[in-house]
Amino acid sequence: MTKTQVLLYDTTLRDGTQREGISLSVDDKIKITRLLDKLGVHYIEGGYPGSNVKDREYFERVREMELEHTRVAAFGMTCRVGSKPEDDPNIQALLAAQTPVITFVGKSWTLHVTDVIRATLEENLRIIRESVAYAKVRDRELIYDAEHFFDGYKADADYALDTLLAAADGGADTLVLCDTNGGTMPWEIEEITRAVQAALPGIPLGIHTHNDTGLAEANSLAGIRAGALHLQGTMNGYGERCGNANLCTLIPNIELKMGLAALPEGHLAHLASAARAVAATANQSLYRQAPYVGQSAFAHKGGMHVAAMRRTPLSYQHIDPALVGNEPRVLVSELSGKGSLLSKAEEAGIAPEEIADLPQVLERIKELERRGFIFEGADASVQVMLQRAKPGYVPPFEMLDFMAVVEHRQGRGIFAEAAVKVRVGDQVFHTAAEGNGPVNALDAALRKALLPTYPRLAEFDLADYKVHILEGEDGTAAVTRVVIDMENGKSSWTTVGASANIIEASWIALADAVEYGLAIAG
């Protein structure tokens, strides 16, 4: 049976860039365009050519691209009050963009007509009708965004419908109902959308919602339930104020929960990677708890949950994460049970029978967490502990002693020096090195001691070093947690250390990171 198709209209490049902290270059916008086309989005709103040079350059460049799934839209306003479309520079800029789709936005709410653009109600209907008609005869697909439609409908339903009729009379192909202030409730969205569909039968409707009440996705789904089959939103919910409807949440809900079609067959599995790529291009961290695509969307921490998951994965997951290109994760912490460690062992390729005393490892983890360690984001430290619990495991090195000092010398300023003594096999190495700080000096001294035996250590890069002070009210006596990210060009891993002494905390994390890289990392 053929599924009903919902057409996806992405406005990340226009509405999404109105989010505080996001500014996309033309190259960024081209990159995101390619990502969205590969994902299978039907429309990409590229920008507002009448407002800035950057968007005009984007439209020039995107014309040269061969897009497989996507039609590019240029966005703009209806002509100004008292003017004609042919005399309006913004409309001329829309036409000059040469996109196959033009999206006009117009006023639906009497408040905006009389108090914002300061027009008569009849004049507003004229500029909607004539603007759409002027562009339509130039062989463009016309989408009309009815701004503030739901607020306008609640204030004056007849007039709000008249604005839609004006756009339809002008030749609009799709009428999009917008909850621009984001304050409408889902039941209102559904009721009003049904009323519009009954009043304007046969005209395709769309839905565009904002997240000011935290209901953008629920409101979008309510509009689709009521018959709107054109969906506007942004990747990762980017947008002004609290953001727009999040397509990364809506697309799987439409396909997996509502049984409708959104992306081309098989493309849903690329959703998580697309969400992360767009976030990286926008220089934003992807929200870890984002539904479906976030790193924590299928992360399991409670021991009871993990035990149940080991018997049947759907016991604590509403879908198979692979459907959206994500994967389950087991977090180890003081809440963990035996099942959590068994899962971690399996991830590391360790059979349960290889671990001499799993309960002892679990108790060790719980004790260390009580002392300030956090293992849920430091899988490498957990895997090192599991390896050490295997009978016959020989660590690549054993730390015997270390020393780190920081000095100030006249004429030289501040510098640090560290010395380490380590055992490798039956040999003991005692080395020293300088650094710009004590941790850097320790790292250099350890590498100096181990490189003759393990030359691949030269490929290890200490990518990140984070310090978190626990219970700051203890002042300089507070426990310090150190998290280290290390990578070798092929993989990356994270370790943790904690102590009232920041140097010891750093050494614990550093030693675990090096041991993991030498003994476990690919």
| 409, 381: one domain | no
> For residue 292, is it within any domain?
no
| 315, 346: one domain | yes
Percent of the chain with pLDDT over 90: 56
Q: pLDDT band for position 117 (50/70/90)?
A: very high
Residue 333 has pLDDT above 50, yes or no: no
pTM of structure: 0.73
Amino acid making up residue 300: H
- Burial, 42: exposed, middle or buried (Cβ in 10 Å; 0-12, 13-18, 19+)? buried
Structure tokens at 415: 């510098």
Alpha-carbon gap, residue 491 to 508, rounded angstroms: 21
| Residue where one domain finishes, among candidates 339, 361, 388 | 388
| 203, 303: one domain | no
The distance in angstroms from the start CA to the end CA of the chain is 46
Pairing between β-strand 205-209 and β-strand 101-107 as defined by DSSP bridges: unpaired
Q: pLDDT band for position 318 (50/70/90)?
A: confident
Residue 83 has pLDDT above 70, yes or no: yes
| Residue where one domain finishes, among candidates 388, 415, 450 | 388
As a whole number, mean pLDDT of residues 448-474 equals 82
> For residue 286, is it within any domain?
no
| 222, 80: one domain | yes
| 252, 147: one domain | yes
User: Which residue range(s) make up the domain with 327?
Assistant: 299-388
Mean pLDDT over each residue of the chain, to the nearest integer: 87
Alpha-carbon gap, residue 145 to 204, rounded angstroms: 12
As a whole number, mean pLDDT of residues 310-337 equals 69
> For residue 288, is it within any domain?
no
* Torsion on CA atoms 149, 151, 157, 159, rounded to nearest 10: -60
How many domains are there within the chain? 3
For the domain that residue 54 is a member of, what is the CATH number?
A: 3.20.20.70
As a whole number, mean pLDDT of residues 340-348 equals 58
Q: What is the pLDDT of residue 379?
A: 75
- 163-195, pLDDT tens digit by residue? 999 999 999 999 999 999 999 999 999 999 999
Q: What is the pLDDT of residue 383?
A: 77
